[in-house]
Amino acid sequence: MPPPPLIDRFGRPHTSLRLSVTDRCNIRCLYCMPAADVQFVPRAELLTFEEIHRVVRVAAGLGICKVRVTGGEPLVRHGLPQLIRNLDQIDQLTDLALTTNGLLLAEQAESLRQAGLRRLNISLDTLEEATFEKISLRPGLDRVLEGIFAARRAGFDEIRLNALALHGLNEKDIVPLGQFARQHQLELRFIEFMPLDAAGQWHSGQVLYGATVRRRLEKAFGPLLPCPRKDPSQPAVDYQFADGKGQIGFICSVSEPFCDRCNRLRLTAEGQIRNCLFGNAEWDARTLLRGGADDWQLADLFRSAVAAKKAGHGIDTEDFVRPQRAMYQIGG
Ligand code: SAM
Ligand code: SF4
């Protein structure tokens, strides 16, 4: 008999896993990482590819069918295509995707595609090098753009750009990003800045809300028409440009939380299962893996994480407590 699916106390089935393969990164986005002196997880504490594969195989047996590989920057993890190839062998997975900052994509796009990766999200907050350096504290916009085009050539037909818009920093990039996405037939999504920056400086005044970004795009391109939701649990609300040239989405985690349809679990690079980006509770898969546990025990760990899931993240409430980990330590 198949094991019961991962349904929580609020009736939400869990079918999606965010898989962080590293907390390391080749840039230092100010909304994510510390600017300097980053304390990375020692390599021996990171899950090996074999351990990751085992955890995902167990999760897939519990109804997880979508996996997104992330980090830190996943492309800095040595030999990543091999992990992708192994994950692609898991029959129950219907969707295998990856989120990257794109800096190493030109070199790796071909091997990732050949390994079985189907979808890519590439983060792009600006089309100006000076702004890129202000946000990520490192140079490299040209490499990100090369990465996007290399991914196209490698045969990725589902490429989405993720942009995070911040007051006073890249507001002027909203319309050029819209133009770029339309010109190159790429889907674009704007994500609201969440209180997960390592510096702990987040305040709501910095957040450029989805509704504001949408108004600015409508002023430049004309009305945006709502698209029907493809997947009931998708966090983004999608729109089409009225002239039919492209699609744009908004992930309004702060202004319009979507916790009531959350279907996600997370596995950190050092093997902690998390049931919410904003929670502090973790379920330690690594200790089980390294202590000789069987698959049933791992499955029970997933069930415990799902059973303990809260109704929502509560960013908008007065008693909200920021998670101890920053975004790069969880996996965005
Ligand atoms: N390094 C890869 C990248 O940047 O695409 C993958 C990991 S990154 C943590 C995944 C996504 O999280 C990126 O699109 C990034 O913009 C987003 N992100 C990081 N910090 C964030 C924050 N505080 N609020 C909202 N999104 C954030
Ligand atoms: Fe690195 Fe991605 Fe975090 Fe930027 S958002 S610092 S690219 S992990």
Q: Which ligand is nearest to the CA of 332?
A: 1
Pairing of the two strands 237-241 and 224-226:
antiparallel
Give the residue, 230 or 162, on which the prediction is more confident. 162
- Ligand number with the minimum distance to the CA of 189: 1
* Structural contact between residues 71 and 22, judged by C-beta atoms closer than 8 angstroms: yes
The token pair that represents 185 in the structure block: 């037939």
Question: End-to-end distance of the chain based on CA atoms, in angstroms?
Answer: 34
Question: Any idea which of 69-73, 161-165, 244-248 has the lowest mean pLDDT?
Answer: 244-248
Number of domains in the chain: 1
The confidence score (pLDDT) of residue 3 equals: 61
- The CATH number linked to 299 is 3.20.20.70
**What residues does ligand 1 touch, defined as CB less than 6 Å away?**
25, 31-32, 70-71, 73, 99-101, 123, 162, 164, 191, 193-194, 196-197, 327-328, 332
Q: Atom 1 of ligand 2 has which residue's CA nearest to it? A: 25
CA 2 to ligand 1 centroid distance, Å: 35
Ligand nearest to the CA of 73: 1
pLDDT, one tens digit per residue, over 186-197 is: 999 999 999 999
* Assigned domain for 7 exists: no
Ligand 2 pocket at CB < 6 A = 25, 27-29, 32-33, 71-73, 101, 327-328
Q: pLDDT value at position 241? A: 94
So what's the pLDDT on residue 278? 92
**Tens of pLDDT along 101-145?**
999 999 999 999 999 999 999 999 999 999 999 999 999 999 999
pLDDT at 80 > cutoff 60: yes
- Tell me the ligand closest to 70's alpha carbon: 1
Model confidence pLDDT, tens digit, residues 289-320: 999 999 999 999 999 999 999 998 877 677 78
Q: Do the domain assignments include residue 103?
A: yes
List the domain range (segments joined by +) for residue 309. 16-330
243 in any annotated domain = yes
Q: What residue's CA is closest to ligand 1, atom 19?
A: 32
Using the atom order of ligand 2, give the atom closest to the CA of residue 25: 1
Beta strands in 35-183 (DSSP E): 66-70, 95-100, 119-123, 158-164
234 or 84, which is more confident: 84
Residue 207 lies in a domain: yes
Q: Is residue 47 part of a domain?
A: yes
Lowest mean pLDDT among 248-257, 266-275, 300-309: 248-257
Residue 3 lies in a domain: no
The answer to whether position 10 is within a domain reads: no
Distance 275 CA to ligand 1 centre (A): 18
> What is the atom index within ligand 2 of the atom nearest the CA of 32?
3
